[in-house]
């Protein structure tokens, strides 16, 4: 009994000196403006609003990819198939988010499209074999013929992404990615991300030039 009392007393002293050693520390022991810890679960009704907030933050990036990709797929601004591409993007985003949060690693994120694929995608579509016809030729085509123009390019891109995904699956299964991470430092990642953003600058500037007021307002909000 005496030994147990001494042990409890020592634990109390240690916790008083180092509050962070207490697992899932209480609100009084937390420092800063952190409302919920890593292992805390907010109330269910608050989770609904937080999920909606997160989705509204992500929807711009989700929709931006089809808007950048559609002109490269030879789709005109008035093409009704643009709405199909955007709707498919939003639907697939919700589907893979549900799969990831239910059966996957269950990260509290919206699993959307990646901007990294846009650079090789635009590089493929800039090849001579996939150059878009002249606007006059596109206007003279029937709706079915215009659909064949962009669906053939979409099939080419889908195959390229599927093959590249196989390399990621193989690398992850055999632990190659873990071995490479020892050599991949923030000094390597930062220039890569910067180059991806600079590559897409022309497309962002072209979209912003249509209405500089809205573009400036969006930049101010961000």
pLDDT single digits (tens) 102-122: 887 888 788 888 877 888 888
Most confident of 11-15, 101-105, 198-202: 101-105
Q: Mean pLDDT across the stretch 48-63? A: 84
- Report the sign of the C-alpha dihedral through residues 12, 14, 15, 21, in that order: negative
- What is the per-residue pLDDT for 222? 65
Report yes or no on whether pTM surpasses 0.85: no
- Mean pLDDT computed over 63-90: 89
Residue 206 has pLDDT above 60, yes or no: yes
- pLDDT over 70 (residue 32): no
- The pLDDT mean for the chain works out to 79
- Residue 150's pLDDT band, with cuts at 50, 70 and 90, is very high
Q: What is the mean pLDDT of residues 64-87?
A: 89
Distances (CA, A) of 26 to 34, 50, 128, 213: 11, 22, 63, 47
Of 59 and 200, the one with more pLDDT: 59
Identify which of 107, 101, 62 has the alpha carbon closest to the alpha carbon of residue 85. 62
Give the pLDDT score at 91.
92
**Comparing 208 with 128, which gets the higher pLDDT?**
128
């Amino acid at each position: 009994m005496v030994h147990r009392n001494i042990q409890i007393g020592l634990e109390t002293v240690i916790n008083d000196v180092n509050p962070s050693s207490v697992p899932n520390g209480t609100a009084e022991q937390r420092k800063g403006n952190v409302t919920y810890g890593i292992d805390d679960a907010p109330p269910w009704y608050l989770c609904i609003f937080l999920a909606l907030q997160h989705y509204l933050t992500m929807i711009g990036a989700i929709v931006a990819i089809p808007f950048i990709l559609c002109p490269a797929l030879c789709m005109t601004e008035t093409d009704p198939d643009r709405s199909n591409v955007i709707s498919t993007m939003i639907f697939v985003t919700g589907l893979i988010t549900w799969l990831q949060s239910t059966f996957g690693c269950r990260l509290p994120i919206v699993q959307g499209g990646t901007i990294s694929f846009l650079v090789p995608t635009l590089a493929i579509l800039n090849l001579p074999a996939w150059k878009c016809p002249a606007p006059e030729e596109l206007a003279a085509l029937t709706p079915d013929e215009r659909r064949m123009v962009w669906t053939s390019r979409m099939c080419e891109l889908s195959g390229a992404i599927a093959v590249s995904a196989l390399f990621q699956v193989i690398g992850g299964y055999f632990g190659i990615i873990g071995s490479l991470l020892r050599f991949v430092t923030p000094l390597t990642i930062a220039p890569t991300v910067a180059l991806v953003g600079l590559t897409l600058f022309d497309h962002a500037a072209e979209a912003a030039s249509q209405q500089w007021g809205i573009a400036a307002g969006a930049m101010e909000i961000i």
